[in-house]
Structure 1
Amino acid sequence: MTRFNGKVALVTGGRSGIGQAIARRLRDDGARVFTAQRGEDYEFEGIVVDFTDPVTASRAVETTVGRGGRLDVLVNNAGMMQESLVEDMSLEDWERTLTVNLTTPFALIKAALPHLRAVGGTIVNVGSIEGLGSNPRHAAYCASKAGIHGLTRAVAIDHGAEGVRCNAVAPGWIDTDLNIEFIEGMSDPEGFRRTIGKIHPVGRTGKPEEVASLVTWLASSESSFVTGQVWTIDGGRMAKLSLPQ
């Protein structure tokens, strides 16, 4: 496919997992892809950034434009999670999670807007179903992802008339390398896979490539009348009411 021919994309956290799948799909569809992450990326045009420093991270936009000449697509994918009850979490850990998951995407969007405005570009933020519900001990992560969803709507409203669209995806359980490693570290990996599959109406967990398909559609002209939306991609998990055990 060639729907991104001549276009330049920046994907944060594009070296692995969902971000890597997004970067690969954009590249396969014709885009010149830059990725930004903490370490080197030898598959794409990598930019090393520190997501705990929003100013430093936002320079990835200028680096991308400097090398690529333009910016058409920004995908804010990089994030982190720390598990803790509110009363046990330090203020430093709380602020670090919100910085990486919410403040840095804000800074990247702020830096990207002049370039996206010039070409009628798009923003896709990777939120989470935990911006809609919550798992135990995920207060900071849930707060940050709910914030990303809200930021998505605000950017869409403020900049839609300028030709800039902004949407978000809210993935559920996706088989990233981290999640696969987590499962394989259990005493009964196959049993856990069956159990986690049962909470999804489709009977299984998701694949990074499935999230990438949705993200690239939202970034493309095929979704030109779609903005300000949070697209849940969770195999129906959030639609299913729990039953007595």
Structure 2
Amino acid sequence: MTNWSEKVALVTGGRSGIGAAISAKLASLGVTVVTAQRGEDRVHPYVSANFLNPSEPVRVIHDVIKMAGGLDILVNNAGIMREGTVLETSDVDWAETLHVNLTVPFMLIKHALPHLTKRRGSIVNIGSIEGLGSNPRHPAYCASKGGIHALTRAVAVDHGGDGVRCNAIAPGWIDTDLNTAFIESLGDPESFKASLGDIHPVGRTGTPGEIAGLAAWLASDEASFVTGQVWTVDGGRTSKLNLP
């Protein structure tokens, strides 16, 4: 059994969407949860951070250790998405997407590892099915998520001997406030919702809580032999072939 009450977790982007669900799940188990994102978190202790600033990852890890005394779980969830084909994507949009979605997790892992090693900790990276396939006009986002999946495997291989496990979750379409707002902005949101159900074998989209449950298990002692894996949670979407 996992002794959750002695564990400390850092969840980036932990104030909203999937991050908020993971934070809530871990906190409900007794974990001390610290979130990191722009602005305040009215639910959990937090570190205010603008991850476009290259110096933020070092400061965030320092502040979390100062606040909580150690670190057992790192959840790299914060991310951005900029739309546009390769021709439409500016150099700035490419660089910022890769920085926030891939370089920041790398830096957080790098500076968290000494602390995670002390407590045989766990890393959970939030990737995407777009690290496995692609929606239109998402080259930077897809590249960053494919990179997160590869980084997950590399960290697992290099640091398993240190007692640190590293896994990733690749969510499909999840009902976050951001996705809901996107649907509502369309000309025919009800038709779009129906088409979303059609592309999923389970007949619906996912909830943030369904990602949070897996994240908590991956961080638990029950998953002590699980590392270097990318867990696809997409209602079967990437397994379904389209008919002509």
Check whether TM > 0.5. yes
Partner Cα distance (1:89, 1:182) in 2 = 20
| SS of equivalent residue, structure 2 residue 87 | helix
Aligned amino acid, residue 109 of structure 2:
I
> 1:218/1:54 Cα in 2 relative to 1: closer, same or farther (>3 Å)?
farther
Partner of 2:70: 70
What percentage of residue pairs aligned between the two structures are identical? 63
Partner of 1:33: 33
Aligned amino acid, residue 146 of structure 1:
G
Partner of 1:180: 180
* Cα deviations by residue, 1:185-235 (Å, 9 ceiling, x for unpaired): 223222211110110000000000000001110011110000000000000
Partner Cα distance (2:87, 2:193) in 1 = 32
| SS of equivalent residue, structure 2 residue 4 | coil
Partner of 1:115: 115
Aligned amino acid, residue 107 of structure 1:
M
| SS of equivalent residue, structure 1 residue 88 | coil
Uncovered stretches (5+) of structure 2, i.e. residues with no partner? none
Is the counterpart of residue 57 in structure 1 residue 57 in structure 2? Answer: yes
Aligned amino acid, residue 29 of structure 1:
L
Partner of 2:105: 105
Partner of 1:165: 165
Partner Cα distance (1:3, 1:130) in 2 = 34
Aligned amino acid, residue 194 of structure 1:
A
Shift of residue 61 of structure 1? Answer: 1.2
Check whether the contact 1:7–1:31 (CA below 8 A) recurs between aligned residues. yes
TM-score by length of 1: 0.97
Check whether the contact 1:124–1:219 (CA below 8 A) recurs between aligned residues. yes
Check whether the contact 1:2–1:30 (CA below 8 A) recurs between aligned residues. no
Check whether the contact 2:12–2:78 (CA below 8 A) recurs between aligned residues. yes
Partner of 2:214: 214
* Cα deviations by residue, 1:77-117 (Å, 9 ceiling, x for unpaired): 00000001111211111000000000000000001000000
How many corresponding residue pairs?
244
Aligned amino acid, residue 243 of structure 1:
L
Aligned amino acid, residue 26 of structure 2:
L
Check whether the contact 1:38–1:50 (CA below 8 A) recurs between aligned residues. yes
Partner of 2:8: 8
TM-score by length of 2: 0.98
Aligned amino acid, residue 43 of structure 1:
V
Partner Cα distance (1:34, 1:24) in 2 = 11
Partner Cα distance (2:230, 2:74) in 1 = 16
Partner Cα distance (2:110, 2:217) in 1 = 23
Uncovered stretches (5+) of structure 1, i.e. residues with no partner? none
Query: Which range is displaced more, 49-58 or 207-216?
Result: 49-58
